[in-house]
A and B are shown apart, each in its own frame.
Chain A
């Protein structure tokens, strides 16, 4: 990687981190509006001067370096905030939704399998955590089981998904999402509409609900969750990046772009669709379990059809298939509306107008996924 690219990219990421920190800590509405104004000026400026393109190229080439760098920046943001419950919770929510969208990217961005039931698989992970929370199973194992069970339950609708195409296939996941939410609302053992209480996470006997306190440095317990979620997010992110850059990613691209062409070249289209769907649901389930543990409480209203749409909006606004775009898009979709209390109840209205306009006038998203370059592979 050229030095010319490296330092400007680093500077942009550092500035982005500082900007996010300011946004998280901003309390007055004018501060939030000016932060948004700064972003509205800075992002096009960065694009114009070529620094943005340099960052894009650097990210596209990079494996784990930039991912680790970004997670280090996230940890730094969290450490600076350290005692603010609310900003840390928002940061953790952005990371959780980012994790969900990694799963959706594997499904839709890579393999082209559409999933309108993201919130349902998120909910399966969450309810797994709620049910197993008191059973004495270690928390990290519960998180993993949340993913496994989400993937297994998703297995029930694999057959119809594989047999159908296009809109018919969209119906399957929509119907499943509705079915799941209605089931939660009427099922008494799972708490009905009131929901369930969830045990917080504990690692090696240490409950994450106890904040760290070191020589005058008192941290919110949310800091623990941010660190845990950031660690899992980074691990999943790096693994998914590797998957994308490997032969598996090429196969998934082929399946998405042209299923018949891919099958002519001996790619097992069915197997790759199943793989992407189950792997995606696994990641979404993990995110759901983490969400439930952090919130301590879940209800069916957390997992409605609108939430599935919110998740899909993140990947569309970011740019379908571009993992690097997920965090900025999650900030736009999750964090900014939450901070803009001024627009209050109008936020869903404004948000849906924005997404509709976005799809109408810039359907590739803010940061479109770059075309795969085969140059490097050939040179080796």
Chain B
């Protein structure tokens, strides 16, 4: 029973990370109808920026309390990922939004490769995994007889807070209204005086910041970051966003938790064959797509002839 609760917590932390990544995908798709596959590598950029900020604090000899260190690291990640996101949007995606979807897909994959390779080549010994500082205590806490790592509780709370904040931003602010307007009909939104490009770039910044936060969470949870971990996480996030239904924020969150649940359920059921968990998860994803061709929360969509 105790280990079951641990597994639920493990799955929930994974799920919130996947959900944060997936929300980015779904935001980009909402405003521009594009998939930004560089998103996973933007996550890596965020994680490495956080690490550099932490090391920078050490070099400067600034001795901050752990919480302020965490805030600095997260802020550094947010700034860098927002910049990377806006750069991708400005230089590549917006000028190409009328190109075939496949071209944009392949191009953003290539931009992601550029980020990934740049980290591998230009970060000192970038090809090796890097230890990530334990900014949140990993001590186990006793929750009614079950021992849970403190960092997983903190990360879960942090992740949920970010998700709800994003949802509030989209649904209850003027900025969110602009995003939703552009997502529904970019031309009409412009006629109504909504600055199209500024809204799009802000959306790219927002989505990328979510990836940056997910990158920091990933680093803290696994105590290590790697130049190529973003590719796989990005693909999982994309799967989650698509399974949930592109364009829907809650769909992306459902998708993220679905993927994490699939991985966790497999590990619980077949602990001996746990290495097959991703084979199982992706197979189920394919089956779900066959059953719900436009995701669980279907995109409102009609084919015009």
Contact = CB atoms under 8 A, between A and B. Distances in A.
Given A159-B290, A168-B294, A360-B92, A174 B238 contact: yes
Interface stretch (B114-122, B176-184, B200-208): B114-122
Contacts of A331: none
A121 to B, nearest CB: 15
A151 to B, nearest CB: 18
Interface string A210-240: 0000000000000000000000000000000
A260 B303 contact: yes
Given A165-B293, A167-B246, A168-B294, A186 B96 contact: no
Given A167-B35, A178-B235, A360 B121 contact: no
Contacts of B232: 178
A100 interface: no
B293 A163 contact: yes
B109 interface: yes
Interface in A150-175: 157, 159-160, 163-168, 170-172, 174-175
Interface residues of B, number: 45
Nearest to A309: B109
A24 B305 CA distance: 52
Interface string A346-359: 10110011011001
A313 interface: yes
Contacts of A30: none
Contacts of A168: 242, 246, 289, 293-295
A356 B111 contact: yes
A349 B289 contact: no
Interface string B82-125: 00000000011001100111110111011101100110010000
B283 interface: yes
**Residue of A114, A163, A168, A183 with most partner-chain B CB within 10 A:** A168
Contacts of B95: 360
B113 A348 contact: yes
Contacts of B289: 160, 163-164, 168, 171-172, 175
Given A167-B101, A359-B107, A178 B114 contact: no
A305 B276 CA distance: 18
Interface in B127-185: none
B6 interface: no
B239 interface: yes
A20 to B, nearest CB: 26
A251 B278 CA distance: 38
Contacts of A166: 101
A360 B107 contact: yes
B279 interface: yes
Given A175-B282, A178-B278, A186-B275, A160 B290 contact: yes
B214 to A, nearest CB: 19
A interface residue count range (under 10 / 10 to 19 / 20 to 34 / 35 or more): 35 or more
Contact of B92 (A185, A305, A348, A356): A356
B231 interface: yes
A345 interface: yes
A353 B106 contact: no
Nearest to B118: A349
Nearest to B96: A360
B29 interface: yes
Contacts of B282: 175-176, 178-179, 182
A316 interface: yes
Contact of A171 (B99, B109, B114, B285): B285
A261 to B, nearest CB: 8
B286 interface: yes
Nearest to A359: B107
B111 to A, nearest CB: 6
A363 interface: yes
Given A167-B35, A348-B113, A349-B118, A359 B103 contact: yes
Contacts of A312: 106
A349 B242 contact: no
Contacts of A363: 96, 99-100, 103
Given A167-B246, A186-B276, A309-B109, A175 B285 contact: yes
Contact of A157 (B101, B110, B286): B286
Given A165-B293, A313-B106, A349-B117, A359 B96 contact: yes
**Residue of A305, A316, A363 with most partner-chain B CB within 10 A:** A363
Interface in A168-217: 168, 170-172, 174-176, 178-179, 182-183, 185-186
A151 B157 CA distance: 47
A353 B235 contact: no
A360 B96 CA distance: 7
A174 B275 CA distance: 19
Given A176-B282, A182-B278, A359-B96, A316 B106 contact: yes
A5 B286 CA distance: 51
B286 A176 contact: yes
Interface of A: 108, 114, 157, 159-160, 163-168, 170-172, 174-176, 178-179, 182-183, 185-186, 260, 305-306, 309, 312-313, 316, 345-346, 348-349, 352-353, 355-356, 359-360, 363
Interface of B: 29, 35, 91-92, 95-96, 99-103, 105-107, 109-111, 113-114, 117-118, 121, 231-232, 235, 238-239, 242, 246, 275-276, 278-279, 282-283, 285-287, 289-290, 293-295, 303, 305
Q: Give 10 closest A-B pairs by Cβ, nearest first.
A: A160-B290, A352-B113, A186-B275, A349-B117, A179-B282, A356-B110, A359-B107, A163-B293, A352-B110, A175-B282
Given A175-B282, A352-B117, A359-B106, 18 more contacts: A157-B286, A160-B286, A163-B293, A165-B294, A170-B105, A171-B239, A171-B285, A175-B286, A176-B282, A178-B232, A179-B282, A182-B279, A186-B276, A313-B110, A346-B121, A356-B107, A360-B95, A360-B96
5 contacts: A159-B290, A163-B293, A185-B275, A349-B118, A352-B111
